Chain A
């Protein structure tokens, strides 16, 4: 049970940073399932350090350099265009085969954001190739496949494709309206969105739909009645533990504090979350040796650590946003103490790209620029 609001446990930010740094150094063999999404793991770890404002003080310049190099090594190109592959798990010391070394949309999105966190100048980015990849991955129904030669197609990949197009500032290879139709077909009677058409409403995919619609300037495709219904469904997801559930009548899970909280933020009503209760739930998910778990007494991992931090950042954003929900560029980073402080304060988040406001601004400034421009 989480402590009552007002009686918050200390926020062990130093330990959370240590947890993420430890994962970047190495993972046990039991976590072999991370291999096909290694770049996503890198994003959760490095993104956590960014949110905790520990990147400059708590990591070495050499390490940050080698992380960037490692990420650039995953950029691949071929007849499909260009993008990032999840990691080197199909690469061999000798010559590589194409099989297993193709780019993947979800990790391409995380690669771009991670490079932005590390303030890369993106001179090595194959911009035309990435735009081409988006076009190749789009299906007739408007959805996107995870890979150019197949793989799942669902709302997650629509979101990632739209976030990439938004960062690139290039939508020329995508049929936006077709994707909007696909997203609409994933909407359910409850007011949320499911992962595929006809599927149950779920917090993560609801975030994907709402965010993708707003990233493409199609937020007005949600009618006032629909918006009202979606807000109702989202606030209903906060349960008595203070945390959010992903689906009606399920147990609270720290990651949905972000997916649902950010969704409300995108709809301009982020302040409707009971923030004290949310903090108290996340506080109770902290592990004594650092890191945040999906629920109290579970094992921590970078995914839940990052999304819990992002949830807290979203609340910071909601509190600072004007009544119209617009988020101004903020210098809030400056007064967050990066040391061993136990303060709950975190820098504000760009809820659409899911990165700090400063990182999102860096991404949008440097990713579209061509080297020759």
Chain B
């Protein structure tokens, strides 16, 4: 692989080793629409690229040329595609290519092509373990990057090797320890626990569900106003077909205002139902919503209890969703 840093300064048109290629200038149309005022270097490299593609050349220097273009424009779809074909044609070691990609990907984490190219490479090298290590590093740099996460999910599901799954829960745990509002990490946890088959030790699904409910409760106790953990808890309950009412005792203290020091009764520590911390902002919108759902599911007279809670959300605690909570009231009363 050629080093780019020193060589990009010299235009391809000025390099004797490229003299045999006829560069093809871009055709813009008679009245170009949104033309881009390209830099000299970009115009030069892409003209040679069009020339190479026209001639159908697949040689080591094509890799140098496409790398130069990709570094200037990582979204250049055709350069990626032609590069991939050339790599296969030359039978180049794809590990080298992945090493180069490690560096390029970190600079352009939000470019689709960077990740698509990686998928194609790894589907051939079939060495997912090295990828997981790379992904853990790049997720540290950008903990919510959608491309990085979806690549990780694809990798795990595609290869589905026991050893790959082993450390996933610890990995998610570490990320949540750092930022308990990282929804990507919560989502990944759900994927690992519930959507990707049953791993050794997790055969008792009822126990797994209870373990995850306890996990969510601990995080709610730490910081109740966190939509990610409530969505996770709801997801676990719905997936495991556990009625919300089983959590009524746990949820209720979170629906009430913070108690002052004086009227707080001596606390009985209930490990199953951790209480909100003294610093928590209460009442918690998500807890009131949860309790209202419990009442709605109970039906009958309980519907009125639900509508009272929704009214509280509409008028006081979650006014931006006033129309939604009023809609919930209408919907619930319609079915009575």
Contact = CB atoms under 8 A, between A and B. Distances in A.
B93 interface: no
Interface string A90-116: 111111110110000000000000000
Contacts of A196: 150, 153-154
Contacts of B34: 23-27, 34, 38, 41-42, 45
B311 interface: no
Contact of B235 (A90, A190, A273): A190
A99 B24 contact: no
Contacts of A195: 146, 150
B165 interface: no
A35 B73 contact: yes
B183 A248 contact: yes
Given A198-B191, A198-B195, A235-B324, A90 B37 contact: no
Contacts of A240: 320
Given A91-B26, A91-B27, A32 B42 contact: yes
Interface string B229-241: 0011011101100
A242 interface: yes
A216 interface: no
B150 A189 contact: no
Contacts of B75: 32-33, 35-37
A35 B73 CA distance: 9
Contacts of A133: none
B72 interface: yes
Most chain A CB within a 10 A radius of its CB, from B116, B187, B239, B327: B187
Interface stretch (A47-55, A67-75, A307-315, A337-345): A67-75
Interface stretch (B76-84, B254-262, B273-281): B76-84
Contacts of A100: 50, 53, 77-78, 81-82
Given A35-B76, A95-B54, A189 B26 contact: no
A31 interface: yes
Nearest to B192: A198
A249 B36 contact: no
B235 A150 contact: no
A248 B231 contact: yes
B218 interface: no
A272 B324 contact: yes
A116 B73 CA distance: 31
A198 B157 contact: yes
A247 B31 contact: no
Interface stretch (A8-16, A199-207, A253-261): A199-207
A113 to B, nearest CB: 15
B39 A29 contact: yes
Contacts of B27: 88, 91-93, 96
Contacts of A27: 34-37
A151 B112 CA distance: 10
A90 B324 contact: no
A66 interface: yes
A194 B187 CA distance: 10
Nearest to B179: A249
A190 B187 CA distance: 9
Contact of B33 (A67, A90, A95): A67
A170 interface: no
A152 B238 CA distance: 32
B196 to A, nearest CB: 8
Contacts of A231: 324
A61 B137 CA distance: 54
Contact of B25 (A23, A66, A93): A93
Contacts of B29: 69-70, 73, 88
Given A27-B36, A152-B116, A66 B31 contact: yes
Contacts of B39: 29, 32
A277 interface: yes
Contacts of A24: 33-34
B227 interface: yes
Interface string B192-236: 001110000000000000000000000000000011100110111
Contact of B37 (A26, A86, A200, A238): A26
B19 interface: no
A139 to B, nearest CB: 14
B28 interface: yes
A177 to B, nearest CB: 22
B74 interface: yes
A269 interface: yes
A198 B35 CA distance: 39
A40 to B, nearest CB: 11
Nearest to B196: A198
A89 B321 contact: no
B182 interface: yes
A125 B232 CA distance: 48
Contacts of B317: none
B26 A88 contact: yes
A304 B35 CA distance: 20
Contact of B50 (A23, A32, A90): A90
Given A42-B34, A272-B327, 4 more contacts: A88-B32, A97-B50, A151-B116, A274-B322
Interface of B: 24-39, 42, 46, 50, 53-54, 72-78, 81-82, 111-112, 116, 144, 146, 149-150, 153-154, 157, 181-184, 186-188, 190-191, 194-196, 226-228, 231-232, 234-236, 238-239, 320-324, 327
9 contacts: A28-B36, A32-B38, A41-B34, A87-B33, A90-B78, A100-B50, A200-B146, A202-B146, A272-B324
Return the 8 tightest CB-CB contacts between A and B, nearest first. A189-B235, A100-B78, A92-B24, A66-B31, A33-B75, A200-B187, A248-B183, A198-B153
